[in-house]
Amino acid sequence: MTVSSGPESQTTFMDLALKEAELAAHRGEVPVGAVLVRDGEILASDGNRTLELNDPTAHAEVLVIRAAGTLLQSQRLADCDLYVTLEPCPMCAAAISFARIRRLYYGAGDEKGGAVDHGTRFFRQPTCHHAPEVYSGFGETRAAALLKSFFQSRR
């Protein structure tokens, strides 16, 4: 799938990530979705699958990075942009750095588990080899509402 570039494309890609988050919620997973894009073309999209795969590393971000790496036959995704509905955790931030993702767009901040603008602030550490350009707040209201609704239904 290809989407035109420009400011409206960030919203469109985040809309697709939000759809993946909704699908994850329907599977009983924490509703986080991600889309990996290169030159306006979607390379991979997925939502969390930690329960389904019995894999604590099966976060949406890791899944799309793995899929795109396989598709492109490269561990480096330097010309790719990642759209994710929730601020990445430390594990995902490290994967983003190691993959050399160009830009990260995320929806809702995560004060407890986030590692980009909260917590460890992974990309600001002197040991971080690559930091993407980071843009937050895309689809934030919808992403936060989806997460809040999911966790309220579990209580």
Catalytic sites, residue numbers: 61
Tell me what percent of the chain is helix, strand and coil, each rounded to the nearest 5.
40, 20, 40
> What is the Cα–Cα distance from 53 to 93, expressed in whole angstroms?
21
Distances (CA, A) of 149 to 4, 38, 41: 32, 32, 31
Rg (CA), the chain: 14
